[in-house]
Chain A
Amino acid sequence: GQNIDQPTEMTATEGAIVQINCTYQTSGFNGLFWYQQHAGEAPTFLSYNVLDGLEEKGRFSSFLSRSKGYSYLLLKELQMKDSASYLCAVRDWRRDDKIIFGKGTRLHILP
């Protein structure tokens, strides 16, 4: 089977840094995605990791450790517009490369 766990909700302050963790269990790991979804809108792609290490893209970075089944999304210099849900998703080659999503982490930014 496949299990993807991430915190349900987090709160952070504008200008601060927040780390959203994602752990997964899968027998056929073939890549991990992070998506952002604002309320009432479509999810939009943030990052993709398939090898261990850190991928940096502006204020957002994503880290992957395949041996630990662990990823995190790091958001720096938080802005109010970063209030959204962040979805971790894993592709599983043993399941015909389905992309399976976690339930998402709702991030609240306080002024």
Chain B
Amino acid sequence: KAGVTQTPRYLIKTRGQQVTLSCSPISGHRSVSWYQQTPGQGLQFLFEYFSETQRNKGNFPGRFSGRQFSNSRSEMNVSTLELGDSALYLCASSLESVGTNEKLFFGSGTQLSVL
């Protein structure tokens, strides 16, 4: 069974641009969560999607948004990029919503650099 796939692996953008990151969960998994990872702050929760609905949201500005498609694939979008958005963006999937004791399976992430 293929793992969680994130594309692209690396991305370089300039301030003010927008970016879209993609995540394909493990086949059969319906929940997709997104995290931002930086050396200083660790893993910070962005949002969780379950069956195409945003179930949970972290404390990030509205420039960060996401969606989930009927095949459970998810995208996240960051508009008007800032230097501080440079980070590793990790996607994680689980079979059911994270409200159960389901563990998260992570992708390798997208390393975003904003210049």
Contact = CB atoms under 8 A, between A and B. Distances in A.
Interface in A60-93: 87, 89, 91, 93
Contacts of A43: 43, 90, 104, 106
Interface string B79-115: 0000000000010000001110101111111000000
Given A97-B99, A98-B58, A98-B98, A42 B42 contact: no
Main SS of the interface on chain A?
strand
Contacts of A102: 42
Interface residues of B, number: 24
A101 B4 CA distance: 19
Contact of A31 (B33, B58, B101, B105): B101
Nearest to A89: B43
Interface in B41-96: 41-45, 48, 55-56, 58, 90
Contacts of B41: 103
Given A42-B4, A43-B90, A91-B98, A100 B105 contact: no
A20 B43 CA distance: 18
A3 interface: no
A96 B43 contact: no
B60 to A, nearest CB: 13
Contacts of A35: 104, 106
A33 interface: yes
A43 B35 CA distance: 11
19 contacts: A42-B4, A42-B90, A42-B108, A42-B109, A43-B43, A43-B90, A43-B104, A43-B106, A45-B103, A87-B42, A98-B45, A98-B48, A98-B56, A98-B58, A99-B98, A100-B45, A101-B44, A102-B42, A103-B41
Given A43-B106, A91-B98, A101-B42, 11 more contacts: A33-B103, A42-B107, A44-B106, A45-B104, A96-B99, A98-B56, A99-B33, A101-B35, A101-B44, A103-B41, A104-B42
